[in-house]
Structure 1
């Protein structure tokens, strides 16, 4: 049986789900009024933080 790992799980949400050696994550920029460059940089920083939590960095 494959294991499902949830990181920072809440009742209806998990920041990260890992299954079958695949990490699933979705993110939204903190400032939606920023330009595309800033939103991308913000989302990539969030991804770096998530990877740090999972030891995948």
Structure 2
């Protein structure tokens, strides 16, 4: 059976969990004082960093779930996403509106990838 490894763990969660070649990232949020454009950039930069830490990259993302605090921000978030995601490697994706941990968060990304 494949080993489960947890990275950046605290009492509540781990930022990265790996099981065999599978990689699960915790929900990534941006700077609370920023607009959705900057928060999206922050999230995607964090995703790049976390995936690199465990030997992967954005071309190996299998699935992405995106929560927006307000669907009115859908186009602004997608403008950043579309420039970041490598064409030919777009993952399965869902996006919906949800109340996030604090009203200051405008977007959150949840990623499943492989090594």
Q: What band does the TM-score fall into relative to the shorter chain? A: 0.7 to 0.9
What's the TM-score once normalised by structure 2's chain length? 0.42
User: Unpaired segments of 5 or more residues in structure 1?
Assistant: none
Q: Which structure shows the bigger proportion of residues in strand conformation?
A: 2
Q: CA RMSD in A?
A: 1.7
Kindly tell me: are residues 44 and 4 of structure 1, through their superposed partners in 2, closer, same or farther at Cα, counting changes over 3 Å? same
How many residue pairs were aligned?
56
For the residue of structure 2 that corresponds to 1:24, the secondary structure is strand
Deviation at 1:7, TM superposition (A): 1.7
1:45 maps to what in 2? 45
TM-score (norm 1): 0.74
Work out which of the two has the higher radius of gyration on C-alpha atoms and give 1 or 2: 2
Once superposed, which parts of structure 1, at least 4 consecutive aligned residues long, lie more than 6 Å away?
none
